[in-house]
Homo-oligomer: A and B are copies of this chain.
Amino acid sequence: MKIALAQLNYHIGNFESNTAKIIEHIKIARTNGADLVVFAELCVCGYPSRDFLEFDEFIELCEASAQKIAKECYGIACIIGLPTPNHRTEGKDLNNSAYFIEEGKVKAVAHKALLPNYDIFDEYRYFEPGTEFSCIEFKGHRIALTICEDLWNTIEDPLYVTRPMDILIQQKPDVMINIAASPFTYNRDEDRIDILGDNAKRYELPLLYLNNVGAQTELIFDGGSLIFDNTGKLIDELPYFEESVAYYNLDDKGKVTFDHPSTIRSIRPSDIEQIHKGIILGIKDYFHKSGFKQAILGLSGGIDSAVVCALAAEALGAQNVMAVLLPSRFSSDHSIKDAEDLVKNLGCMSETIAIKDVTEAFENTLSPQFKGLPFNIAEENIQSRSRAVLLMAMCNKFGYILLNTSNKSEAAVGYGTLYGDMCGGISVIGDVYKTQVFELARYINREKEIIPLNSIIKPPSAELRPDQKDTDSLPEYDILDKILKMYIEGRHSSTSIIKAGYDENTVRRVIRLVNLAEHKRYQTPPILRVSPKAFGMGRRMPIVGKYLS
């Protein structure tokens, strides 16, 4: 039996394009002699479709698409993922299902049993877990078909009380196929290989694992579909961050072979290389899928906006990126020079718009109220917000999308101005700590100097008052980021972070800043997610609370 794995990029709710893409790949796979072509979890509607799933019409469109696909499915079988109505009286209205389609008909249906409901996942919001499991007979083989999380219930600390493969294995399958929508984080690929390999080994079956690829707003799916032999050894790996189709033969003894050279990555890519690729895909799909072409951003001469500008130029083409220099009386000469150098290096569009007149107009307008009170955060924020108004006016006039340039360290401690530098359609590096932004800059410069070295080596500053430096009010970033990572990703208590060797006052202050900034983060743009715990839908905190704040 020849199996095609079709690792494709879908668009949420775009039934027309998703269906066309699936049908096109059925035809290609058939032409290439495949007996079965496998598509990803919920490929028909895109993942995550979120509360669209609560609309009956949306679910009907999923079924209608499946029927269209079935009509094209002759001389080859296919597996597709879609939500289906739960026909039992009890429980949620839907199942997260896979159809096995053969000769124009849905021959078998599998329901996902383990429904992730943590971090960015909300599957139990919509779906009732499957409780019955049957292998699928096809071309003399017996396929154990499961969906994503179904293979992720670890032995040591099981999150679920069941394990579908424990039931399926009793029916003596000779191969496992798992269709997934497993989002990217920079440390996820090795976990996947370990956990899926453990399944192949435990059940002594080869495993074909097919993942989604492509970004859906903040969530990036990295592809990297995997093939294991029945000892749990990884024997092939599809490319990451791009669409790809590969073919495998399953012989009568349950052995998987293939004709192409194995594309297993011999050296695991670094975290930063993965983050770089993920963000590029994230930007590309955000613009492409929302029908926009051109990005705008404010370029300060600092490292954050420089990195975002370089990433945008790579994702969209430099000709589609408008960098705006917005100098104030506090902008240093080197900042303007650094920003200009970057524009030259990239070849993107640029404008310079001084903010002096508008900030003065604000200060004059407010003088009857402010009555000579000293310059403070109010005037600092006026600068940042004036820049946002100018950038948004450019968006409204010319159809750009504003890129947010805040990094994760700033977003964490609330070092940013709401409705000012925290604006944007999408946050590009909001899940990248400042110390990682430096690494990203060096990675972007790996072949030649794109980001001016001076932007990398000078001390970070918001330049909202004379001689301001980030370290005036924050710890050094290498300390700050380690504390933040323990608190945010690790969910450590202050006590345990202090025990790890950090200064008690610093730790308590940093955690307090993080908790007090929830109201700011609530109103920020979606953040391209590259870490296991990003701000946004995966981290849900009370705003009005009183805990470590």
Contact = CB atoms under 8 A, between A and B. Distances in A.
Nearest to A493: B57
Contact of A397 (B89, B378, B493): B378
Contact of A423 (B91, B354, B392, B419): B419
A354 B361 CA distance: 11
Interface string A372-393: 0100111101100110111011
B390 A158 contact: no
A110 B523 CA distance: 38
Contact of A376 (B54, B397, B418): B397
Given A286-B544, A542-B52, A547-B52, A353 B381 contact: no
Number of copies: 2
Interface in A419-472: 419, 423, 425
A263 interface: no
A232 interface: no
A154 to B, nearest CB: 11
B90 A546 contact: no
Interface residues of A, number: 94
B493 A542 contact: no
Contacts of A379: 393
A334 interface: no
B545 A91 contact: no
Interface string A313-348: 000000000000000000000000000000000000
Nearest to A158: B90
Nearest to A386: B389
Contacts of A293: none
Interface of A: 11-14, 17, 46, 48-52, 54-58, 89-92, 117-118, 122, 124-125, 157-161, 216-217, 285-286, 289-290, 351, 353-355, 357-358, 360-362, 364-366, 368-370, 373, 376-379, 381-382, 385-386, 388-390, 392-394, 396-397, 418-419, 423, 425, 491, 493-495, 519, 522-526, 537, 539-549
The 5 closest A-B pairs by CB, nearest first: A13-B547, A57-B493, A361-B361, A378-B396, A14-B546
12 contacts: A51-B539, A91-B159, A117-B124, A117-B125, A122-B122, A217-B543, A362-B389, A369-B394, A376-B397, A378-B393, A381-B392, A419-B423
